Amino acid sequence: MIPFNKPYLTGKETEYITDAVASGKISGNGKYTQKCQLFFEEKFGFKKALLTTSCTDALEMAAILINIKEGDEVIIPSYTFVSTANAFVLRGAKIVFADSMPNHPNIDATKLEGLITSKTKAIVPVHYAGVACDMDTIMELAQKHNLFVVEDAAQAIDSYYTGKDGIRKPLGAIGHLAAFSFHETKNIIAGEGGMLTINDEQFIERAEIIWEKGTNRSAFFRGEVDKYGWVDIGSSFLPSEIIAGFLWAQLENLTNIQAVRKQHWEVYHEELKTWCENNGVGLPQVPEYATNNGHMFYLVCQNMEQRTALIEKLRSQNIHPVFHYISLHSSPYYKDKHDGRVLAETDRFTDCLVRLPLFYELDVQLVIKNIKNV
């Protein structure tokens, strides 16, 4: 059987977990937490990186940091995971859903300005499949209307955006804040886990406090205060050293993991071209300003019936593709709160997009062979 996903282990995960346990420091913000955070700050230039127990937690921290409150509006794509919306709904925000681009599930930045009102507080672009949104347009709108930008970079580790100025920046380093995921379905994993990255220095001190349950505990351990106490709202957002140790083993192998995943992606793309043309199926597209990090390979079928047939035929051969998000604007929880706009591209991707297996140890040729027989 070829599953949709299979977590890849480098071989050092249990060694570092054992070391963390033996050190007597198993709770968060120990040696491995600090090694992981420093890795991201040095390699990708994030001003501050804070590991979290999930990407969801990182998004919730971002919502607190930008002071989302009852009545604020937050613009997000409808084609995303529920966590993108939940983080802001929990703070009382109204979600204003944006449509996808015609040729990519990413948010259509050209349609955003018409969604901005006096109540808009933030834009949350989601870098779907690790491919960058049009960040120049989004950041220009944010500056023009005095909005915050929180990048949902859950799928976007080690992916980049080249702006109009020609400067290449890592995703997660462009908006005011960003959130990453290390869930077992991602490129770099910790089972569960995430990270908040902070690019606007005004948020760094408060982020540490929120991260440490609303206390200035981090400052205390650095010797900056002689005692610590409750100084703000917060929660238990930081992960244990067991999670951080696992993650460190993955980060040591980032280059190799990425190279293999991107190679699988390229083989899919090259060898399925003719089959896709013959069957009216769309291949994933990567804009000139973006890079591909090998997170996901998907196909866009003509309709739901074609997608269902493809999935069923592959599963009959013990290959397990999956469809992806069901549009949030039509979800049972939010459809009555949505403003009624038709989001045609989002609905098309909901009905037509299918994700193929993609993981480190994948026999990609076997999947391709079976697709070509459909």
Q: Are residues 218 and 77 in the same domain?
A: yes
Q: Are residues 259 and 240 in the same domain?
A: no
Dihedral over Cα of 82, 5, 129, 167: its sign:
positive
pLDDT value of position 222: 80
Q: Are residues 274 and 210 in the same domain?
A: no
Q: What separation in angstroms does the CA of 64 have from each of 234, 300, 336, 362, 369?
A: 8, 36, 26, 40, 49
pLDDT value of position 117: 98
Q: Are residues 223 and 312 in the same domain?
A: no
Alpha-carbon span 325 to 47, nearest angstrom = 32
pLDDT value of position 219: 80
48, part of any domain: yes
Domain-terminating residue out of 251, 267, 282: 251
Q: Which of 35, 186, 337, 372 is catalytic?
A: 186
Q: Are residues 176 and 116 in the same domain?
A: yes
Q: Are residues 230 and 289 in the same domain?
A: no
Q: Are residues 62 and 201 in the same domain?
A: yes
Alpha-carbon span 299 to 353, nearest angstrom = 6
| Number of structural domains in the chain | 2
Alpha-carbon span 153 to 343, nearest angstrom = 22
pLDDT value of position 214: 92
59, part of any domain: yes
5, part of any domain: no
In which residue ranges of the chain is pLDDT below 50?
none
Structure token pair of residue 6: 């299979």
235, part of any domain: yes
Find the domain containing 50 and state its range.
Answer: 13-251
Q: Are residues 219 and 119 in the same domain?
A: yes
Find the CATH number of the domain harbouring 352: 3.90.1150.10
pLDDT value of position 223: 80
Provide the whole-model pTM. 0.97
Tell how far CA 240 is from the center of its chain: 21
CB contact at 8 A, 248 and 16 = yes
Find the CATH number of the domain harbouring 100: 3.40.640.10
Angle at Cα 78 formed by Cα 349 and Cα 173, nearest 5°? 105
186 in active site: yes
264, part of any domain: yes
